Amino acid sequence: MSTIGIKNFNLYYSEFHALKNINITIEEKRITSMIGPSGCGKSTLLRSINRINDTIEGVCTNGEINISNQNIYANNVDVDFLRRNVGMVFQRPNPFPISIYENVAFGLKVNRIASDRNVIAKTVEKSLRAVLLWDDIKDKLHKSALTLTLEQQQRLCIARVIAVAPRIILLDEPCSSLDPVATQRIEELMIKLKDNYTIVIVTHNMQQAARVSHDAAFMLLGELVEFDKTEKIFTNPTKKETEDYVTGRFG
């Protein structure tokens, strides 16, 4: 199971209370969007799901985030193993300045998942096929990843994540640097991938959230204001703050 259960979760940046008593259950093999104005805590919450916030000095948390019924903030959790199972794709594509092939193979080698050349080659191909990139670049695998278009680089970053067989993929505004055509292609890819992964996406693009997500969480000032099916959030929200935001009255 790849359900994410967040219970009474709080996060502080030193004295600043960034996330306030968050309670939410994110179901597996669905796309959940996190929406809200800048600074509302949505990216902080996303990054809490693979503990990448641990790298920031002064961060303190309490409460639980459970994945497959295990609290990932328990003392005995292997954080490296957690991040293999909960992959992250960032706002701007960040391929390594090495070959396309080595970008995808990187996690396999560093995490000692595979060392056999044939196994690595098959995994690289499978991962690139999964993101619909193989046919375009199969003859360019040993060229620098930096020669790819921005859209292709973002697909490559997703391939790099799925090569290590995660259960959950976190996407932090993955289309913010892409043009509308490239954005559409990444959205189509997300919809395709959700059959095999639990996907959580932070986005400022209301239309994108409406197009791709099954469920939506609206956050404001570090609090989870409303969480429901995306259609309900956009057409019949329960809270006035949600209605004001999705209708463009503020934010």
Q: Let me know: does 68 contact 91? Beta carbons within 8 Å.
A: no
Rounded Cα gap, residues 176 and 182, in angstroms: 10
**Cα of 157 vs its chain's centroid, Å:** 11
Nearest alpha-carbon partner for 28 in 198, 194, 165 = 198
Backbone angles phi, psi at 14, to 5 degrees: 55, -115
Encode pLDDT of 195-236 as tens digits: 999 999 999 999 999 999 999 999 999 999 999 999 999 999
Beta bridge partners of 26: 4
The reported pLDDT for the residue numbered 1 is 61
- Helices 150-162 and 100-110 pack at an angle, to 10 degrees, of 20
**Domain spans of the chain, in order of start:** 4-246
Burial bucket for residue 186 (CB in 10 Å: 0-12, 13-18, 19+): buried
Which pLDDT belongs to residue 8?
Answer: 98
Give residue 113's pLDDT: 82
Tokens encoding 8: 């009474």
Can you give the pLDDT of all 251 residues of the chain as single tens digits? 679 999 999 999 999 999 999 999 999 999 999 999 999 999 999 999 999 999 899 999 999 999 988 999 999 999 988 998 999 999 889 999 999 999 999 988 887 887 788 999 999 999 999 999 999 999 999 999 999 999 999 999 999 999 999 999 999 999 988 889 889 989 999 999 999 999 999 999 999 999 999 999 999 999 999 999 999 999 999 999 999 999 887 65
CATH class of 4-246: alpha beta
Going from the C-alpha of 179 to that of each of 182, 184, 201, the distances in angstroms are 5, 9, 18
CB 221 within 8 Å of CB 40: yes
Alpha-carbon span 175 to 169, nearest angstrom: 15
The pair phi, psi for residue 60, each rounded to 5°, is -135, 140
Residues 162, 87 contacting (CB under 8 angstroms): yes
To the question of pTM greater than 0.85 for the whole model, the response is yes
- What is the DSSP code string of 24-90? EEEPTTSEEEEE-STTSSHHHHHHHTTTGGGGSTTEEEEEEEEETTEETTSTT--HHHHHHHEEEE-
